Amino acid sequence: MHIDAPLTIALPKGRIFDDTLPLLARCGVEPLDDPQTSRKLILETNRPQVKLVLIRASDVPTYVQYGAADLGVAGKDVLMEHGGEGLYEPLDLGIARCRLMVAGIPDADLGPGRLRIATKFVHSTERYFAAQGKQVEIIKLYGSMELAPLVGLSDLIVDLVESGNTLKANGLVPLEHIADISARLVINKASWKTKHGSVTALLDALRQAVAAG
Ligand SMILES: Nc1ncnc2c1ncn2[C@@H]1O[C@H](COP(=O)(O)OP(=O)(O)OP(=O)(O)O)[C@@H](O)[C@H]1O
Ligand SMILES: O=P(O)(O)OC[C@H]1O[C@H](OP(=O)(O)OP(=O)(O)O)[C@H](O)[C@@H]1O
């Protein structure tokens, strides 16, 4: 892989980071500091031209949109909320797989009124219910969505489900499937043009790393 232009890759710290590192390693890109112990937010790599910036998952599209990072890895849930402006989304990395779902208390009597939905995913939720011709009241939360129906804050939630254990542990059931989610490589549109050779070299290497499983 030949990279001559400087490339900054935005990675979220949580589960996506853990799953992306082995893919980057297969492309021959490895951080110099141990990301488990380092408190640094900018990590140099064994490739002098490539550095990693560590940010919140939901901030990745913003960094890449504004060109503060040339590339990034973000969950499809986050990209659906952001809207994808200024970004290309050329590769599904097949990691951090889960589903965006509507969930609630089993056999709850939801009544005829406007449903209240608690979620972090306001835009995706709005779009999903609007497409069904349903008017809903959305209550924006930042986490622990599963609690909302249990304490009467909402009728339903929209959240990510992987094993279903979190729903089960809170006596909730999945009700409707909104979207399959996985992490995607995103690329700044200007970097795609101005650093085309280096960006496509990394993209091709990552594509092979994903295909190799
Ligand atoms: N249980 C899960 N199983 C698989 N993938 C998941 C799961 N939960 C979240 N994800 C995916 O991983 C991404 C990052 O999740 P993570 O939990 O690391 O960050 P977060 O805490 O949701 O985000 P932020 O730090 O911005 O609050 C999500 O955007 C989603 O695409
Ligand atoms: O179906 P499961 O396998 O139980 O996974 C689903 C849970 O995972 C995510 O939370 P996460 O563990 O990332 O916690 P956080 O939202 O507080 O970061 C998501 O928000 C669900 O609560």
**pLDDT for the residue 1:** 84
Pocket test for ligand 1, best of 19, 160, 161, 184 (most atoms within 8 A of CB): 160
The whole model's pTM is what?
0.95
Q: Over the chain, what HEC string results?
A: CCCCCCEEEEEECCHHHHHHHHHHHHCCCCECCCCCCCCCCEEEECCCCEEEEEECHHHHHHHHHCCCCCEEEEEHHHHHHHCCCCEEEEEECCCCCEEEEEEECCCCCCCCCCEEEEECCHHHHHHHHHHCCCCEEEEECCCCCCHHHHCCCCCEEEEEECCCHHHHHCCCEEEEEEEEECEEEEEEHHHHHHCHHHHHHHHHHHHHHHHCC
Does the predicted interface ipTM exceed a cut of 0.85?
yes
**pLDDT for the residue 36:** 83
Cα 5 to averaged position of ligand 1 atoms, centre (Å): 30
Cα 98 to averaged position of ligand 2 atoms, centre (Å): 10
Instruction: Take atom 9 of ligand 1 and give the residue whose Cα is closest.
Output: 160
Pocket test for ligand 1, best of 13, 16, 18 (most atoms within 8 A of CB): 16
Task: Give me the domains of the chain, ranges plus CATH numbers.
Answer: 7-96+182-211 (3.40.190.10), 98-180 (3.40.190.10)
Q: Which residues of the chain have pLDDT under 50?
A: none
**pLDDT for the residue 213:** 83
**pLDDT for the residue 189:** 98
